[in-house]
Amino acid sequence: MNTLDIHDLYSGILSNVHQELPHKTMDKKLIINVAPTGAFMNRQQNPGQPYTMEENVQAAIEAHKEGAAVWHVHARDKDGTPSKDPLVVKETIARVLDKCPDIVTSVIPYADYGTGQGLDLVKRTVDVLTEAGPEYMQSAVLLIQTMAFSKKFAYVITQKTLTDQVQYLEDHGVRPEYQATSYQGIKDVLDWLVAKGIAKDPPLMNIMMGFHGFCHGSPLGPDPWNYVYLMTMQQTLAPNSVKGVCAGGRNWLPFCTLAMMLGFDMVRVGMEDTVYIHPHRNEKIQSSAQAVRKIVSIATELGREIATPAEAREIMGIRYGARKAAAGKKAATAAE
């Protein structure tokens, strides 16, 4: 019986693994959006939750230093109650801009509860902040489907109310961000705004994953099959949209990691929607800066570069320079 020499067996064999072409899905800058506080998280859930204006401001500054290009803006009163007063929001933003003048401000625009719906809910905030300067409100996060968190008030979203809000924002140079918790909202944005050309390019479309605010933005189980939902929802977004994932609850870190792998343009993290660091452990998150550091570390290991604020504005279609120049010209004219 002849024996085959192992050297002869492998002689001349060269697999083609080195000829595999690069995969471009992750070959893009990643925008990190930080949400240090929100309207619902409190210190009963996490003692480290920012309450005062000073704490909120410091949390945004620290997260920006760690790599967050975008700041999802919420304001709070002195006792920690969420504030929708545009003047309180303005002061909060001013304090952050003083230390981080290049940060991208992504503002919750709703105010004047009980006075109406649609444009009535956002007009005063838009007016106050855009009058202060284009840097105060570079994008605005919009709910895109009817929802209620209390019997005292409900957000009523119709084609007219949403269209009115979007047109007013666009007229004031503010980019709308469409915040989706289900396919219904995404489909309405596509039909009402994108198809009709009302939503300017590129539309900013965010998928809410895990727990957000007062409700579930996506299925929490069965784990780990709930991650399939994110991959499915991604396919429903406008092809030319800037795609974001706003992750909350226990699975925020795996959701963000998957989003980076799927080529999403933006991930939003922070203490607004997060109590625990990991899905399977009860260690509580200490700060939004800590969350940003983890995202930067994972993105770096995956080979994704972190977008600067200027790069984030370019990706998001924020015409910041033109707005700032126009604001400067207006101020000069008024001074004459």
Q: What is the mean pLDDT of each run of 10 residues along the chain (336 residues)?
A: 83 90 96 91 84 94 98 88 92 97 96 80 96 97 87 87 97 96 94 96 96 78 91 95 95 97 98 93 96 98 98 94 60 61
- The CB-based long-range contact list for 194-197 (8 Å cut-off, 24+ gap) reads 194/238
Sorted by where each begins, the domain ranges of the chain are 24-328
pLDDT at 175: 98
Give this prediction's pTM.
0.93
- Residues 218-249 pLDDT 10s: 888 899 999 999 999 999 999 999 999 999 99
Q: How far apart are CA 224 and CA 254, in angstroms?
A: 10
Kindly state the tokens that stand for 267. 């991930």
3-state secondary structure 170-200: HHCCCEEEEEECCHHHHHHHHHHHHCCCCCC
pLDDT at 290: 97
- Residues 199-219 pLDDT 10s: 999 999 999 999 877 677 888
SS3 254: helix
- Residues 140-185 pLDDT 10s: 999 999 887 777 778 889 999 999 999 999 999 999 999 998 899 9
Query: Is the omega angle on the peptide bond into residue 22 within 30 degrees of 0, that is, cis?
Result: no
pLDDT at 132: 97
Q: Which homologous superfamily does the CATH classification assign to the domain defined by 24-328?
A: Aldolase class I (3.20.20.70)
